[in-house]
Structure 1
Amino acid sequence: MAPHCRYSCDTAAQTLEWISAINDFLRPYMFLLNDHVVNFFKDRLWESIDKQWMNCLRKESVENLLKIPSGIVQDNWPASLKEFILTSRSLVLPREQVELQMMLPNLHVASLDTVLTQGMNMKKKHEVETLAAVVRSIAESTGSQTIIDVGAGQGYLAQVLSFQYNLSVVAIDASSHHGAVTSARAERIKKHYAAKTKNAHLNVPQTVTCCVMSSDALKAFSDALLQKNDFEPLEMKEIDLGEPYLEGLEVERKKPSLCSNSNMGPSLVLAGLHACGDLSVTMLRTFIECKEIKAVVSIGCCYNLLSEEGSQNSGSQCGFPVSEGAKLSGLSLGKSARDLACQSAERWRSLTKDAALQNFELHAFRAAFQMVLNRYYPEILTTSPSIGRQGKALRRQQQRRVLQNNLHVDKRTSLPLVATWEKCEMERSCTTSNYSEAYQGAYSCC
């Protein structure tokens, strides 16, 4: 029995209808969505589930349970349970793979040699190989001169765009360590190709360390880049980003924006491979606000890390919801629901029985461990946040507080942005106690 979707995103009105239907469906079950999976065991949340459903599912085989996220039901199940599963599946946004060649007729995916793929596993190689070809195709069709690789990491994508496709690339990342790795790796690749082709004037990606936590920061960086007529090597001291940027911190721009209403002049493409959390949303906002940015090519990830309006850590520009329509519908998920949304129905369906049982048992043992901590060691949950199911969330809150404190201090003392971020990185590594470090590998829970 395959669920049928009667909704569409063809128009704004139809999209809003779909969002409202999702919101209406989720609302009665928010008591489950707002709790971590560990709480299902710890707080006996199963007692709030329809008893008919629980009696039925307790007797069901593991193989059939794994098919539930894919919308597959059994004939002998209660009608209300079947309706719930089929309705939930019918509301899922489509995930059909699109043939890239149909969308980008000029697309040619070049096979990368071992020099460019050094250090990449097979998955990374496939991602970089394909995405670089897509970026090159879009840059060509939009006439864009420069690519900004946002959240460049170790620079794999930036280097393929530079050396394989001869594009001008600026790789930006919040980690100065990543910037150093990117530059060193690029120099090794350049040395190899220069010796092979006798060409000393190869394109090398420029690396910049800056913390992009708002569209204002990314626009300011784009402005600084557009002011460089020949895109000569950039130094952080040359880029005026105003005060250090942080979500929720009001910052005045020191220079007029070059992101004007003009369609003439230099043009950029924003690219991101695994642009984590709010970073993908920041790229989209910058694309909308800056006419000189002609396209965004973004593969997002870690949607559970999106900031949400009304949450404890929300800032002036939240990552969810983005659209006014979603905001007006009152759509709200929360951290646990966003974690759940990152689960893959296809992955669960493909698990073997033994692997599935191992997953189920893991959650049960995590819940048991959390109960032991709550009852006998409650102080550990606050002094050593790496332990227990709240570990990562509390650790992120600590890191955010460190960053906020340092940025406010540096706003008064006018420290350079790079120095600010490096200091935050150093302090962040010291926030975990020795006790929590001893248990982190075995017991840390997200």
Structure 2
Amino acid sequence: MATGFRGNGSSSCKYKCDTAANTLQWIKAIADFIRPYSFLINAPVVNFFKDRLWEAVDEEWMECLRKEHVKNLLLIPSGAVQEYWPDSLKKFIRTSKSLALGREQADLQMVLPGWCIASLNTVLSQGMNQKKKHEVEVLSAIISLIASDLKSHAIVDVGAGQGYLAQVLSFHYKHSVLAIDACSHHGNVTSARSERIKKYYSAQIRKSGLETNSLRLPKAMTFHVLSVDALKSLANMSLQDDHADKTSVTGDDLEKTSRQELKGLCSSGKEPSLVLAGLHACGDLSMIMLRTFVECKEVKAVINIGCCYNLLSEYGSDNEGVQNGFPMSFGVKSSGLFLGKSGRDLACQSAERWRNLENEGGVHNFELHAFRAAFQMVLYKYYPEVVATFPSVGRQGKALRRRKKREAALSSQCHEDKLEASQSDLIGGLPDNSNAFSHTISDYGSTP
């Protein structure tokens, strides 16, 4: 169960991972707690309805929750309980909360003295939404501070996407950066975007009368199958004196290149010192970064914000013989814990998002699951040949709902802005502001 609610006793966890013994105790407690509920965890949500899984849930719980107000149901993932609920249900929710990792936010000024955020200019932030801009500003400042303290030769942006983070580290913080991604299109976009940014910075440098030969571009490389070995091979490359030249190669090319040739790319005779960084490193990518850090002495630090943990490959599934993303720990393997795809999806649910839903939004979500389950039952009964093809259902509808929600929010904001503008004109006096008021109505139309 996803947790993270600060209220109602957010520091109630009685477990610690300060020693190996305590960590194993915590792992065992989690495995023992969820094992009896594996039939629910491993089932897709629609199966709760289709296969009547509620019949296996405690009758007293079902009777209680069936009558509960939606707002209280939305608080359950956050660990909140109502005193009039059955004792066994309250114990279940509180135990779940006590087993969850703490989510208190660290004070970065305490952890990283001297750390500060630099606001990005419009050239570097072009194409970023507000969320992405904030993430890049914060993470790039942290990475730059750590990389400078370690005197690293280069930063490797793993899963670089369109190169937003790499370009800020390169152009703004003046680090040597290698941006790698599994998609060659992203590598091309990164290189093209870097060239455009370079023109701006080159012009600024020329205006100041300085030389432009110190201007660096992040290198872009494509790894079709990113692995620990591929990342380790990068440790032979030092980008310290690479400047504006663009380089784009594939992981296949790199692995065919001899170790000596890779060392030839180094501009200094010193042992390479790398920092691995990632913003939204998806699925197994975060695990690959951590394993590389452990196995490769040239990698001095890992700074990573992972995502999409539901896409982790899992030990004990169909992909035997592969170095799986979950679990990494021998302790978890020894516990016999297996989550499965549905369990990993459940683990990625955000308690905060459920908690912040309005009553209408909560009901809407519950209805969607119920109608989707009803549709699945129709497919099973009347179209079994369609079910056999494992169709993907609902993604287009989900995207459409999100778009309509954004449009509704934008429309509401525009409406408020128009009313505010009209009221401001009226307050100033109709005789003096009648033209402005008329202009507002003619431009936007009458308000509903």
For Structure 1 versus Structure 2, the TM-score category normalised by the shorter chain is 0.7 to 0.9
Q: Give the Cα–Cα distance (whole angstroms) in 2 for the partners of residues 309 and 237 of structure 1.
A: 29
Q: Is the 8 A contact 1:308 1:314 kept in 2?
A: no
Q: Give the Cα–Cα distance (whole angstroms) in 2 for the partners of residues 46 and 186 of structure 1.
A: 55
| Residue 348 (1) aligns with residue 354 (2) | yes
- CA positional deviation for 1:254: 6.5
| Residue 236 (1) aligns with residue 249 (2) | yes
Q: For residues 369 and 443 of structure 1, do their structure 2 counterparts lie closer, same or farther at Cα, with a shift above 3 Å needed?
A: farther
Which letter does structure 2 place at the counterpart of 1:52?
Answer: E
Which letter does structure 2 place at the counterpart of 1:304?
Answer: N
User: What residue number does 2:227 align with?
Assistant: 214
**Deviations, residues 52-91 of structure 1 (Å, cap 9, x unaligned):** 0000000110011111111111111111111001100110
- CA positional deviation for 1:350: 1.0
Segments of 4+ in structure 1 off by > 3 A? Answer: 228-235, 237-243, 253-258
Q: Is the 8 A contact 1:276 1:303 kept in 2?
A: yes
User: What residue number does 2:281 align with?
Assistant: 275
Q: Which of residues 292, 317, 321 is equivalent to 2:327?
A: 321
Q: For residues 294 and 442 of structure 1, do their structure 2 counterparts lie closer, same or farther at Cα, with a shift above 3 Å needed?
A: same
Which letter does structure 1 place at the counterpart of 2:392?
Answer: I
TM-score by length of 1: 0.80
- CA positional deviation for 1:315: 4.5
- CA positional deviation for 1:378: 2.3
Of 198-207 and 168-177, deviating more is 198-207
| Residue 7 (1) aligns with residue 12 (2) | no
Q: For residues 143 and 212 of structure 1, do their structure 2 counterparts lie closer, same or farther at Cα, with a shift above 3 Å needed?
A: farther
Q: Is the 8 A contact 2:187 2:248 kept in 1?
A: no
TM-score by length of 2: 0.80
Q: Which of residues 339, 342, 352 is equivalent to 1:336?
A: 342
- CA positional deviation for 1:229: 7.5
Which letter does structure 2 place at the counterpart of 1:205?
Answer: P
Q: Which of residues 39, 43, 61 is equivalent to 1:53?
A: 61
Which letter does structure 1 place at the counterpart of 2:222?
Answer: T
Q: Is the 8 A contact 1:159 1:205 kept in 2?
A: yes
Identity %: 61
Of 122-131 and 198-207, deviating more is 198-207
Gaps of 5+ in 2: 1-7, 264-269, 400-448
Q: Which of residues 162, 165, 176 is equivalent to 1:157?
A: 165
Q: Which of residues 34, 41, 44 is equivalent to 1:33?
A: 41
Q: Give the Cα–Cα distance (whole angstroms) in 1 for the partners of residues 252 and 35 of structure 2.
A: 47
Which letter does structure 2 place at the counterpart of 1:301?
Answer: C
Which letter does structure 2 place at the counterpart of 1:270?
Answer: L
Which letter does structure 2 place at the counterpart of 1:48?
Answer: A
**Deviations, residues 104-162 of structure 1 (Å, cap 9, x unaligned):** 11312111111111111110000000000011011011110101101000000000001
Which letter does structure 2 place at the counterpart of 1:341?
Answer: A
- CA positional deviation for 1:242: 3.6
Say which one has the larger Rg: 2
Gaps of 5+ in 1: 244-252, 259-263, 390-439
> What is the alpha-carbon root mean square deviation over aligned residues?
2.2
Q: For residues 386 and 141 of structure 1, do their structure 2 counterparts lie closer, same or farther at Cα, with a shift above 3 Å needed?
A: farther
Q: Which of residues 151, 156, 159 is equivalent to 1:148?
A: 156
Q: Give the Cα–Cα distance (whole angstroms) in 2 for the partners of residues 238 and 372 of structure 1.
A: 47
Q: Is the 8 A contact 2:224 2:250 kept in 1?
A: no
Q: Give the Cα–Cα distance (whole angstroms) in 2 for the partners of residues 337 and 167 of structure 1.
A: 40
Q: Is the 8 A contact 2:154 2:240 kept in 1?
A: no
TM alignment of 1:114-263, pairs within 5 A: 114-198=122-206, 199-201=211-213, 202-223=215-236, 225-226=237-238, 230-231=241-242, 234-236=247-249, 240-242=253-255, 255=259
Q: For residues 386 and 186 of structure 1, do their structure 2 counterparts lie closer, same or farther at Cα, with a shift above 3 Å needed?
A: farther
Q: Is the 8 A contact 1:309 1:320 kept in 2?
A: yes
Would you say how many aligned residue pairs link Structure 1 and Structure 2?
377
| Residue 387 (1) aligns with residue 400 (2) | no
Q: Give the Cα–Cα distance (whole angstroms) in 2 for the partners of residues 174 and 237 of structure 1.
A: 9
- CA positional deviation for 1:311: 0.9
User: What residue number does 1:377 align with?
Assistant: 383
Q: Give the Cα–Cα distance (whole angstroms) in 2 for the partners of residues 255 and 34 of structure 1.
A: 45
Equivalent residue of 1:236, what SS? strand
Q: Give the Cα–Cα distance (whole angstroms) in 2 for the partners of residues 34 and 175 of structure 1.
A: 32
Equivalent residue of 1:271, what SS? strand
- CA positional deviation for 1:443: 7.9
Of 94-103 and 367-376, deviating more is 367-376
